[in-house]
Amino acid sequence: MKKLILTAALMLILAVSAFAAPLEITKQTGDFTVVSSLDRNPPVKGKNTVSIVIRDKDGKAVQDAKAAVYYSMPAMPGMPAMDYKTMAEFKNGAYSAVLDLSMTGPWNVEVRFVAPPSKTMNRVSFSVDVR
């Protein structure tokens, strides 16, 4: 009986971690650390929200950046290349944007931002597999 409860608890933990954990990608660019979290894991066809936290070299959250998210899918048979851009709005400590991923398969996502007083355009990119 005890073993059964333990097995059930373990399965519950596995199920929760498989479905509830956001997809989190950490990338470095120059002095910045960029953590991008997608609310759906795996991402789904349609709307997915990405939250982006940018930290400087001291680990402090950057709040006054101009951030945008570019997302694209390369051309494939019967489908031209798709390219989209959306601005990311800063609220509740993160830059937030909604990605409308119109097709299942691999998408490239690129976060671009300028953090004043620097005028340098910083970029990090990653890919996601939309189900």
Instruction: Rule CB under 5 A: say whether 103 interacts with Cu ion.
Output: yes
Instruction: Rule CB under 5 A: say whether 8 interacts with Cu ion.
Output: no
Query: What are the tokens at 76?
Result: 């494939």
Tell the smallest beta-carbon distance from residue 113 to Cu ion (Å): 27
> Are 69 and 88 spatial neighbours (Cβ–Cβ below 8 Å)?
yes
Burial class (CB in 10 A: 0-12, 13-18, 19+), 99: buried
| Nearest residue (CB) to Cu ion, 20 versus 81 | 81
Instruction: Rule CB under 5 A: say whether 100 interacts with Cu ion.
Output: no
Instruction: Rule CB under 5 A: say whether 79 interacts with Cu ion.
Output: yes
| Nearest residue (CB) to Cu ion, 80 versus 116 | 80
Choose the binding region for Cu ion from 20-28, 47-55, 79-87, 120-128 (rule: CB under 5 A): 79-87
* Of positions 73, 101, 115, 130, contacts Cu ion by CB under 5 A: 73
| Cα→Cα distances 46→82, 83, 84, 121, 128, Å | 14, 15, 13, 28, 13
| Of 50, 52, 49, 102, nearest in space to 72 by CA | 102
Binding region for Cu ion (CB under 5 A): 73, 76, 79, 103
